[in-house]
Amino acid sequence: MDININEIVAEMMGAIKGSVTNDWPLVRSSVDAYFNLRKQRLELLASMRISNKISEEFFNLRIQDEKSILESELHSINVMSKVMAQNAANAAIDVFQKAVLTILKTVL
C-alpha cells in the first residue's frame, strides 16, 4: 500500500492548527516551511518502515528527531509558548505515526 504523504501532512497541519487555535495565522507560515522542507524525509521514513527496511525502534528514534525539529521550528515563533509548541509538535507527529501504523497493519 502506498502512502499519501500530502494527505498525511494535511492532517498533521490540521492537528497543529487545532492545537494552536487562535494563533494559527501567526504560525502557519512556519509550519508550511517545515513541511515543505521535511515532507520528503517523512515520506521516506514511512515507506521504509512500511516495507520493513527499517526497524520500529529506528523509525521511532527518527520520529523523535522530527518532533524535536518541528518543536524547535515552532519555538522560533515568539507568540508560542514552550508547552504550546510541544503540544502542537506532539499532535502532528501522532497523526504521522498513526497513519504509518494503519498502513503497516494492512500490509502485514
Q: pLDDT digit string (tens) for 44-99?
A: 999 999 999 999 999 999 999 999 998 888 887 766 677 888 888 899 999 999 99
Confidence (pLDDT) at 26? 83
pLDDT for residue 29: 86
Dihedral sign computed on CA atoms, order 31, 28, 6, 97:
positive
Amino acid at the residue 17: K
How buried is residue 88: exposed, middle or buried, by Cβ count under 10 Å (0-12/13-18/19+)? buried
Which CA distances in Å does 90 have to 61, 69, 97, 100, 102?
A: 14, 12, 10, 15, 18
Q: What is the pLDDT of residues 20-43, one digit of tens each?
A: 888 888 888 888 988 999 999 999
Q: What is the pTM of this model?
A: 0.76
The interaxial angle of helices 82-107 and 24-50, nearest 10 deg, is: 30
